[in-house]
Structure 1
Amino acid sequence: MDDVSAALVDVPPQSQYDMYIRNFGDMGRKQTGVQAPAEEDRIDFEVQAERVRVRNRAVEVPRDLGLCPENSADRPMQFVKDLCSDNVGDALENNDVLGEPSLSNVSSSRIIDSTLLAAFLGRVFPVMRAILDENDEEKAGPEALESKSETQFSTSYTTFSCVATCNRPVLKVLFNPCAPAYLAVLHGAVREEGPCMELDRYLSIIVIWNVYDSFSPERILVSPSLLTSICMSPRWPYLVYAGAEDGSLYVWDTREPERNHFTAGCFQRNAFRLPSFATSWQTGNHVAPIVAIAVAGYNTVVGVRKDENEQLVSLDATGGTYFWVVNEKDQSKGAISDTENGLNMFSTVRLFLATSKCESRVNALSMNQESFALDFVPTDPSHYVVACSEGVRHISRFGSIAAPSLYGPCSQFFARPVAVPSCVRYGTVDSRIFVVGYDDGTLRVYLHTDAAPQLSIPLSNHSIKEMRFGGCDKWLLWLLDASGTLFLLDLAKKEKEFPVLSQTLLNPDTGSCTCFDIPPEGKADNRAIVLGFEKGMIQLHTLSDFTHPPSSDRDEHWL
């Protein structure tokens, strides 16, 4: 006999929760617990509750703030007896909950979800800190943060100073090319004993500042060697590179959590961060002090592509140029190779030596050629120029013809050039032009295709140390000499040899100005310049309209 089945009533299956929620609110009870979320939803779960009484406007949250979800996994729903509106608060205070003990009776063996707690504190702490800082600013007034400037080129300035670095001079200061809201400040060796003995044992430090927070630094990077130059990645804002006097290169990855660096020391809640990678353990390291480092093609006219691998270029005092490939280690592979010598524990960023320019290569610098600075040709990142004792050498990385091979004055005195270049810089708007500062205080303007200078300006009696083009205007040039005098030149006006402004930045409280930088073109909120001083502080100046020369008597097409 065949079995025949038929569906009399087509009703979908009902779970226990469906049966309960259908009659919710009609049984004289209300919900005070929450459903335990799934494992993958614990980070972003919310309290789901339905308001039963219109007049009762209470906020219902878990007693453990959701940090102990394993304790409520076996009891997804809890209820309290419905009381009158006057006794609701008393009932909650007296923990009149079925099946839940009071907070004082909770077992001490409760396990806290540390990952969830760390994420919660990480989101809350910056907000609370910003709110407290805003309250302090409102009480102190806006004049407490910005001081009225007495210089010719700015209207106001903000001082950034860390107590632990006041005994160290500022050697370099630069804006982050990816995030101009951050500054990197290189401090030199200790001149006298400071307030932090633990920090004084490091030969050099790099302080990362946020331009909107002058109270405390964002990061403190320490180095066991004396650093001579630094640069930041144009692709990734969290990478900082530095070259040392002993020929080593260092890399810091500021994404690393502070708990990985607490062994290096701490000052005012800022952990000292050791280098993520150092080349001092590599065999192909520099044998002379490093005088300049830069990321290959950082100033290319087509822009930096983030999907390309980054290469770091280092120049030492003897003219040796090394190219390093920046690589990030795959965490899934636990194998350790010889190339990881110098990699800090829990770090992932490494440097691999790609090539080096030696005297056996075409257009290479001889090993006895003293060098001072380096910059890349914006139209071709495989070509670069090096300021050395005989002039400015034009070098091709891959051995092709680099013409002209030498820029500079042809006259010599006792087989020595009349002027020795100290710094070199390509234009940010017009890539045909680059300027060279010399140790006798002169400035020369060159075309990339011509070995002879197009313009020579005697500017100072001291060596030129720093040069920067002024943003969108290709003929505005900022310069700083060794005496701390800041110049602004307008190369488009008729009297090019006379600077728009010239001011010596020397003060008993700050000392002499040692370095400066301007934000990248088109990335800053306003026109600004940052100055570093020999007594360990920096000043961020807001430029005035005086630095915008009128366009009536200017000829921008003279070259």
Structure 2
Amino acid sequence: MQREKPEEEPEIGDDYLTNYEDDFEDYEDDFDDDDDEDNDSEARDSEERLREIPVSKKSEIEEIQRAINAENERIGTLLPKQIQKEREKEPNVERQDSPARGSICGMFMDFETANQRQSSQIMATKQKKRSSELLRLIDLDFSVSFSLLDLPPVNEYDMYIRNFGKTNTKQAYVQSNEDNLERDVQTDEIETLEKWTQHPGDSVLVSGGPRSSNDVSTDIVVTPKIDSQRLTNFLRSACQVIAVLLEEDRVATQPRWNLRSRQTSLSISDSCFQLNTNLPFLHGRKVSCLHISQVQRQALLSVHGLPEKPGAIQLDRKYIVCVWNVWQPSSPQKVLVCEAEVSCCCFSPSKATLVFAGTMDGSLVVWDLREDSRMHHCVKLNETDWIFRSPTFSTDGVLSSLNHTYPVLAIEPVSTSVYKEQNYGLSHLSSQEEMSGLSFQIASMDENGTLNLWVAVELQKVDLSGSQSDLGLIPGGKIKLVHSSTVQLNSSLFPKDILCLRKPQTLNIKFLPSNPNHFIVGTDIGMVSHGARHDLRVHPKLFKPQQGGPRSIRANAVDFSPFGKPIFLVGCSDGSIRLHQMTSEHPLIQWNDSTNGQPIIALQWALTRPAVFFVLDTSSTVYIWDLLENDLCPVAKQIIQSDKVMTMVVLGEPEKTNGLLGIALAKQSGIIDIQYVKKRWALPQSEESEKLQLLLQQSL
């Protein structure tokens, strides 16, 4: 029976499946009716045939029929059990009780399983269609990607070692010399020697080999012992001597540089020369300050102000500090520039490699002379390249509470080894000190009486990109100042009765060479205060003039004896000079009319004689005092009228016996004269220290 296919098949559902099964049930009923009719006819035919068969054969047929029926019953009982087992193996799906199962010729047709299979296929088709539609809307991306296996290539040697094994094995190389073939030649055999060397050497044995072709190879070659520190000192000294000889040769060959040992017009000196300040960047600048290194007496600092007339040079708005070597007067060794006005300066105490300066803005600046010149600005002037060095460190980047807020009037190095060792050579640092870096204290004092102590620290690592914590340090710099302590001098040094009248102004400060814990401070009330860095109480607390009581005079200059004696000189604005010792508040000797009332602006002891000192007043007059020759008035007086002298500093070589003693005079025009005084005031005398000590005892 065929059914016509409808034009549009309805959606397959439960109703459709039920109708489909009902059609098959009717179809089976049709087959059942036909089968029954056929079976009835066959049964009648068989009965008729049985009647025709004889009785003997009927019994055999009945036995065969009973056997067939028994076999059919047995098969009928086993077949449902087999079908039940197959149904248990199939997935557990809900089945509807329907007579949809039939058998044709002993074979069963399971329409319910076929129906479920068709439903599963339809559902899978729908899911596949939905997944294809969703995949077009979903975009996948990689969140983490990594390699599960990273196996680098293995070279042939490693593969061989891996396959061969590493247990109880050792790799050895053997030269078979198979390529060394002998040939007959008509030339002489060349003699050769085999030598070996190793660099860097692991021990004293760095090379070896036979000394001749007949000798046996020997490996006993010892490297020579080299003292690197001694070699460094020798090279420094030799380079300095060569530089001085070249300077003298240039002075002799060029008349315009003939500045050394020329005839002098001063009666107090034997010879003099000038430092070459006739340079484009120094023209028209006045010298306001001079300073000599305490250990390298040939090193001189000069501070130059702004030019009177601005020029075409970019440095017209900057102050300049020149580092000179008095043995090479033709040009400064280093040229330092600063934005603020420099009021005072000094060298580092152990070696002239650092320069410190105080400014009128209240800041301190440091220059490291060892820095590479490529870190600084280079200007070409008159076919000569000049390097203008900017400060390595400035306290402008330090917090304002730790920095000065008033102009800095004095800056002094604090060191215990300056006068104890008396070492004035070119190199003053041991190898251990050079490796560990510099570390010492610097004292700065402003006009308000604030004394700051700083520690100069050398950094081990250099940051070329600049430091984020040390704002005052330039990129690539390795020297900085770390604030140590602050002392308010007005409240700690002066009694209350003096503070009630007027607040004194501090002018200068000096530290006792034999004990840098003690220091003296010059004031504008005619007194010198005595203080200490660590002790709370000192005696005496004030050094007063002989007349007693404060006066409206200024202690413009103070200086300790460089020979370790606890005595110091005080030069005042009324022209008086006082000689004090540290154990008494009143002076040992006081000279009131030595300068005819002219204020004293500079005063300093001689470096080669304990009883000689020099004085400069505002009238450009230089006085020489020799206490052993005359303790009442100066032994020499020199008036300089051509050009006013602004400041003075004493230089010399106390370690030598030739008595080389000079004074550097900075004039208003910017010229710096070096005057070597006569031998009578320069050469040390026998037992001079004992005679001076006896004179001081008599003055008590």
Q: Distance in 2 between matches of 1:262 and 1:334?
A: 16
- The answer to whether 1:498 aligns with 2:633 is yes
Relative to structure 1, the CA distance from residue 336 to residue 157 in structure 2 (aligned partners, 3 Å threshold; closer, same or farther) is closer
Change (3 A) 1:275 1:497: same
Summarize the alignment of residues 526-537 of structure 1 with structure 2, pairs less than 5 Å apart.
526-537=660-671
When residues 462 and 128 of structure 1 are mapped into structure 2, their CA distance, relative to the original with a 3 A threshold, is: closer
Q: C-alpha displacement at 1:301, in angstroms?
A: 4.5
CA displacement 1:373-422 (0-9 Å, x = unmatched): 10112332111110112311101112421110000127578xx5253311
| 1:409 paired residue number | 545
Structure 2 CA distance for aligned equivalents of residues 134 and 299 of structure 1: 34
CA deviation string 1:199-235 (max 9, x = no partner) = 2120x21111222322222111000000000111121
The residue number in structure 1 matching 2:648 is 515
Show the counterpart of 2:585.
451
**Offset of 1:197 from its aligned partner?**
1.8
Q: Which residue of 2 aligns with 1:168?
A: 285
Pick closer, same or farther for the CA change 1:271–1:478 going to 2, 3 Å. Answer: same
- 1:187 partner amino acid: H
Give deviations 1:184-207, integer Å, cap 9, x for gaps.
Answer: 11112322235x5222120x2111
SS at match of 1:217: coil
The letter for the 2-side match of 1:356 is T
The corresponding residue for 1:348 is 478
Q: Which residue of 2 aligns with 1:388?
A: 523
Bigger mean CA offset, 300-309 vs 531-540: 300-309
Q: Give the 5 Å matches for 1:476-491.
A: 476-491=612-627
* More off after superposition, 242-251 vs 265-274: 265-274
After superposition, what is the alpha-carbon deviation per residue over 1:126-150, rounded to whole angstroms, capped at 9, x for unaligned? 9998887565444347966331111
Q: For residues 156 and 296 of structure 1, do their structure 2 counterparts lie closer, same or farther at Cα, with a shift above 3 Å needed?
A: same
- Residue 688 (structure 2) pairs with residue 558 (structure 1): no
Q: What residue ranges of structure 1 are gaps of 5+ in the alignment?
A: 1-11, 29-36, 42-124
Say whether the 8 Å CA contact 2:392–2:474 is kept in structure 1.
yes
Closer/same/farther in 2, CA of residues 252 and 550 from structure 1, 3 Å limit:
closer
Give 1:157's match in structure 2, choosing from 259, 265, 272: 272
Per-residue CA deviation, residues 277-312 of structure 1 (Å, 9 max, x unaligned), is: 110121111011111110113686534895573100
**Paired AA for residue 236 in structure 1:** K
TM-score, normalising length: structure 2: 0.57
Contact kept, 8 Å, 2:292 with 2:651, in 1: the verdict is yes
1:500 deviates by 1.2
- Which of these residues, 460, 465, 470, is aligned with residue 330 of structure 1? 460
Q: Which has the larger share of helix?
A: 2
Q: Which of the numbers 307, 312, 320 marks the counterpart of 1:190?
A: 307
Assess, with a 3 A threshold, how the Cα gap between structure 1 residues 128 and 485 changes in structure 2: closer, same or farther: closer
- Check if 1:238 corresponds to 2:353: yes
Question: Structure 2: how far apart are the matches of 1:524 and 1:250?
Answer: 37
User: Which of structures 1 and 2 has the larger relative contact order (alpha carbons within 8 angstroms, sep 6+)?
Assistant: 1
* Conservation of the 8 A alpha-carbon contact between 1:435 and 1:444: yes
Aligned position for 2:316: 200
Per-residue CA deviation, residues 246-271 of structure 1 (Å, 9 max, x unaligned), is: 110011011112111026x4543111
Q: Any idea what the Cα deviations from partners look like across 1:14-68, whole Å, max 9, x if unmatched?
A: 99xx99xxx9x9689xxxxxxxx99989xxxxxxxxxxxxxxxxxxxxxxxxxxx
Bigger strand share: 1
Q: Go from structure 1 to structure 2 and tell me whether the alpha carbon gap of 1:231 and 1:133 turns closer, same or farther (over 3 Å shift).
A: closer
Amino acid aligned to 1:543: V
Q: What one-letter code is carried by the residue in structure 2 that aligns with 1:558?
A: L
- Kept after mapping to 1: 8 A contact 2:346/2:355: yes
Point out where structure 2 has 5 or more consecutive residues left out of the alignment: 1-173, 191-196, 202-238, 423-427
Percent identity, aligned pairs only, is: 23
Aligned match of 2:340: 225
Distance 1:223-1:552 versus aligned 2 partners, 3 A rule = closer
Distance 1:399 1:127 in 2: 46
CA distance in 2, matches of 1:550, 1:184: 27
Deviations 1:427-486 (A, max 9, x none): 112522111010111100111100011111122222212111112321101111122211
Distance 1:314 1:303, change over 3 A: farther
Residues 266/260 of structure 1: CA separation in 2 closer, same or farther (3 Å cut): farther
Q: 2:409 aligns with which of 258, 277, 291?
A: 291
Q: 1:209 aligns with which of 324, 337, 355?
A: 324
Question: Which among 377, 389, 395 is matched to residue 512 of structure 2?
Answer: 377
SS at match of 1:237: coil
Over 3 Å counting, the alpha-carbon distance change for 1:349 and 1:26 in structure 2 is: farther
Give the count of matched residue pairs: 444
1:173 Cα deviation from its structure 2 partner:
1.8
User: Structure 2 vs 1, CA of residues 198 and 343 (structure 1 numbering), >3 Å: closer, same or farther?
Assistant: same
TM-score of the pair, normalised by structure 1: 0.70
Moved more, 238-247 or 519-528: 519-528
2:392 partner amino acid: S
| Structure 2 residue 391 is matched with structure 1 residue 275 | yes
Specify the SS of the correspondent of 1:394: strand
Q: Say whether the 8 Å CA contact 1:430–1:474 is kept in structure 2.
A: no
Q: Deviations over 1:476-522 (max 9, x none)?
A: 011111222111111233x4232111112232xx4434322223632
Give 3-state SS (helix, strand or coil) of 1:302's partner: helix
Counterpart residue type for residue 654 of structure 2: E
- SS of the residue 1:380 aligns to: coil
Answer whether contact 1:515 1:533 (CA < 8 A) is retained.
no
Report whether the alignment pairs 1:437 with 2:571. Answer: yes
2:518 partner SS: strand
Distance 2:518 2:380 in 1: 43
Contact kept? 2:415, 2:440, Cα under 8 Å:
no
Deviation at 1:169, TM superposition (A): 1.1
2:650/2:662 contact within 8 Å kept: no
Q: CA 1:491/1:456 → structure 2, altered by over 3 Å: closer, same or farther?
A: same
Q: What secondary structure does 1:417 align onto? A: coil
- Is 2:672 the counterpart of 1:538? yes
What is the rounded CA distance, in whole Å, between the counterparts of 1:251 and 1:130 in structure 2? Answer: 28
Question: In 2 relative to 1, CA 26–432 (structure 1 residues): closer, same or farther, beyond 3 Å?
Answer: farther
